[in-house]
Structure 1
Amino acid sequence: MDLHTLKIFQTVAKMGSISQAARELQYAQSNITMKIQQLESDLQTTLFYRHNRGTALTAKGSLLLTYAEKIFDLIEETQNMMTDDQTPRGPLIIGSMETTAAVRLPSVLSKYHKDFPEVDLTLKTGSTEENIQGVLQYDLDGAFVAGPIKHPELIQKEVFEEELVLITDTKHPPISSIKDIQTRTMLVFRTGCSYREKLEQWLHQERVIPNKIMEFGTLDAIVGCVFAGLGLSMLPLSVVAKHIQEGTLRQHSIPNQYGKVKTIFIYRKERYVPSSLIKFINTLGN
């Protein structure tokens, strides 16, 4: 088994058909077929099921794809290490929760960009779960997520602590118990959001079933709908402090066990850490 054949196998697996892989690699379809048959013969196993719509991986094929991706990731990592002269440059992809990106990161990103202008920094927002998977699958170099995180392949660095509050429109009466809000609509981010999970833990603990839950994709949408009286939400105080000070939203405190969330920065443990990421992590401590 050589790397060239392994790359052909990986392409067929990802494209889902030999014909599409041939177009992608600009090879003759017969050559692709021959290479796959040769690989299956060498490994003495069937890697693909053939059907009229293309191909599907067998159990052994899926296992080989996992190892193939690790091999090519390691090759890329080795090349990066050999060419890294410790001057931060090139792409750096960072993931973040939207709330963290909106309030905590502008000054961090501005300083980093000023200090290391040769780095092509990209910020992608998503839920904690999406960001964790992004780091594990090598789509992100690192990410800001709600902690703590227990995963053997990740290193975590605590960077912020958020105080969570319930927010409502200003006409809403004081909330003395979570049972006061069980008839209200809960406005939340998609599943995987740590703040939503905290709210759901609180509701479950108090055996409260909300009247309705509405999911939103952006922070601005949640804040705007709370302001309009559509429902209430639980968000970091740092995100809504300005609205509360301006009198457009009302804040309600929550029990301590649900009111604190640590924001941590995660990155992969086993991989080579480029100088661009090292400098970014150092910036978080300044």
Structure 2
Amino acid sequence: MNLRFLETVLWLARLRSIKATADKLCITQTAVSNRISAIEQDLSVRLFERSDEGFMPTPAGLRFLERAQDIVQACHLLRREMLDPGQLRGHVRLGAVSTLVPTVLPALVRTVREDFPHVSLSVTTDLPDRLLREMQAGKLDMLLVSSPPVLGPEFEITPLCSFSMHFVASPALGIDTSRPLTPQELAQHPIIGYPPGSPSQARIDAYFADHAQQTVVIHASATLPTNVQMVAAGVGIAPVPWAAVRREIEQGTLVALPAAKPPVPVHYVAAFAREGQSELPRAVSALARQAAALYCESADPAWAWASQDDDSTQEHP
């Protein structure tokens, strides 16, 4: 019986929705249904019944859930116990989005040095889609990127954290910050964005979808620091993670623009190949989760919070 299938049953029991379960596990709704059906056929029992409240466990399903939870927890515990940090040696090629460089990465590097003294890291920063192509081509071992990355079943993801997004501008622009600004009012200023077709730019396009005719987007570089420099120079405004620019805001280089429609938060994950010659990416991914939690503990929960998912890695279709 596949461990992933057991985890799917547990999440469906918790969320009571095929769609919510599919979103949680980053798989298709068809995959969720097929996994549940496969277990039901294997056991010759029905695990769920559909009701007004969603998918509810049957009496047989409740018995199954109790044992399945024990099995899943035991598997994860066994995996952790079998991993000997002192025996891990080698080099990990890590791709990361620039937002995580000043936030999560410092704690990750410190933790790797302490827990895995014989492991070294090399870091490449770029847009998520470019980093994904590099990993799929075998040029990177793991990623720290915004989600959801589009990966095949041979890859796994580990949720890390989420950052709230805020529009910022140079104080030299003299934008009124005494009241929330509507998307239409924000769109009156040049919007500093990212290369067309990138996930980061897609979020900006979605935000201003109803004001596309009047929005002027300046497609800037693939890295957040360059965009922040352009904002500070008064070229335009930009939506950025508060966690990445709080120092500039405290110093007065940037000002936060209150928005009547807040931009959606951005979620970050670690991604790596499920099968490989080394356990290093999986081990570093677990440390990245710890580093993200440590960073969020020291941050304002309004602009950075750790993932509340369980310790299991998750997969993409």
Shorter-chain TM band: 0.5 to 0.7
- For residues 225 and 152 of structure 2, the distance between their equivalents in structure 1, rounded to whole angstroms, comes to 35
Equivalent in the alignment of 2:285: 281
How far the C-alpha of 1:280 sits from its partner, in A, is 0.7
**Equivalent pair of 1:127/1:192 in contact (CA under 8 Å):** no
How far the C-alpha of 1:129 sits from its partner, in A, is 0.3
Mapping 1:53-72, distance limit 5 Å: none
Identity of aligned residues (%): 16
Equivalent in the alignment of 1:169: 170
SS across alignment from 2:101:
helix
Equivalent in the alignment of 2:117: 117
Equivalent in the alignment of 1:233: 238
Mapping 1:122-201, distance limit 5 Å: 122-153=122-153, 154-170=155-171, 171-174=174-177, 176-191=181-196, 193-201=198-206
How far the C-alpha of 1:112 sits from its partner, in A, is 0.6
The TM-score normalised by the length of structure 2 is: 0.58
How far the C-alpha of 1:247 sits from its partner, in A, is 2.1
**Equivalent pair of 1:159/1:264 in contact (CA under 8 Å):** yes
**Equivalent pair of 1:92/1:119 in contact (CA under 8 Å):** yes
Equivalent in the alignment of 1:221: 226
Equivalent in the alignment of 2:104: 104
Code of the residue aligned with 2:176 in structure 1: it is P
Code of the residue aligned with 1:157 in structure 2: it is T
Code of the residue aligned with 1:173 in structure 2: it is D
Code of the residue aligned with 2:96 in structure 1: it is S
Mapping 1:236-247, distance limit 5 Å: 236-247=241-252
Matched residues, number: 202
Superimposed CA distance per residue, residues 103-125 of structure 1 (whole angstroms, 9 cap, x where no aligned partner): 22111112212322322311111
**Equivalent pair of 1:87/1:275 in contact (CA under 8 Å):** no
- For residues 196 and 272 of structure 2, the distance between their equivalents in structure 1, rounded to whole angstroms, comes to 22
The TM-score normalised by the length of structure 1 is: 0.63
Which of residues 272, 295, 304 in structure 2 aligns to 1:267?
A: 272
Unaligned runs of 5+ residues in structure 2 are 1-83, 291-317
Unaligned runs of 5+ residues in structure 1 are 1-83
**Equivalent pair of 1:157/1:264 in contact (CA under 8 Å):** yes
- For residues 273 and 281 of structure 1, the distance between their equivalents in structure 2, rounded to whole angstroms, comes to 16
SS across alignment from 1:103:
coil
- For residues 159 and 259 of structure 2, the distance between their equivalents in structure 1, rounded to whole angstroms, comes to 23
Superimposed CA distance per residue, residues 227-266 of structure 1 (whole angstroms, 9 cap, x where no aligned partner): 2211111111100111112222111244667321110111
**Equivalent pair of 1:184/1:212 in contact (CA under 8 Å):** no
SS across alignment from 1:272:
coil
How far the C-alpha of 1:181 sits from its partner, in A, is 2.8
